[in-house]
Amino acid sequence: MIEAIYYKNPPVLAMTTHIVERRRHEDGTHVVLEQPLFYPEGGGQPSDQGTIAGIPVESVYLKDNKIFHVLGKEPSADKVHCQVNGEVRWHHMQHHSGQHLLSAVCQDMYGLVTVGFHLGERYATIDLEGPDIDGSWIPVVEDAVNRYIQEDRALTTRLISRDDREHYPRRGDVPLTGAIRLVSIAGIDSAPCCGTHVTSTGQIGLLKVTKTEKVRSCTRVYFICGMRSVNDYQNKQRILRELADMYSTGENDLLQRVQADGQRLKELEQNCRGLKQELAVLQASSLAAGHWFVETTVAEREDMQLWAGALLSEGVRVAVVRCGQRLLIQHSGDLDWDCGQFIGSVAARFGGRGGGSSTAGQVYFADQEQQAPFVDHLRSVLEAIKHG
Interaction site with Zn ion (CB under 5 A): 193, 195
Instruction: Please report how close the Cβ of residue 155 comes to Zn ion at its closest, in angstroms.
Output: 11
CA dist 338 and 381 (Å) reads 12
Instruction: Please report how close the Cβ of residue 47 comes to Zn ion at its closest, in angstroms.
Output: 15
Instruction: Please report how close the Cβ of residue 78 comes to Zn ion at its closest, in angstroms.
Output: 34
Whose Cβ is closer to Zn ion: residue 46's or residue 195's? 195
Give CA separation, 152 vs 19, 102, 200, 204, 227, in Å: 39, 15, 6, 9, 17
Beta-carbon-side half-sphere exposure of residue 372 (alpha carbons within 13 Å): 1
Whose Cβ is closer to Zn ion: residue 188's or residue 193's? 193
Whose Cβ is closer to Zn ion: residue 29's or residue 196's? 196
How long, in residues, is the chain? Answer: 388
CA dist 176 and 40 (Å) reads 21
Residue type, 158: R
Tell me the residue number closest to Zn ion, measured at CB: 193
Contacts of 370 (CB under 8 A, 6+ apart): 350, 351, 352
CA dist 204 and 149 (Å) reads 7
Give CA separation, 175 vs 40, 158, 193, in Å: 18, 15, 10
* CA triple 302-308-312, angle to 5 deg: 155
Whose Cβ is closer to Zn ion: residue 103's or residue 146's? 103
Instruction: Please report how close the Cβ of residue 192 comes to Zn ion at its closest, in angstroms.
Output: 8
* CA triple 269-275-281, angle to 5 deg: 135
Instruction: Please report how close the Cβ of residue 11 comes to Zn ion at its closest, in angstroms.
Output: 20
Whose Cβ is closer to Zn ion: residue 59's or residue 103's? 103
Contacts of 232 (CB under 8 A, 6+ apart): 208, 210, 224
Instruction: Please report how close the Cβ of residue 273 comes to Zn ion at its closest, in angstroms.
Output: 56
Instruction: Please report how close the Cβ of residue 197 comes to Zn ion at its closest, in angstroms.
Output: 8
Whose Cβ is closer to Zn ion: residue 186's or residue 254's? 186
Whose Cβ is closer to Zn ion: residue 156's or residue 313's? 156
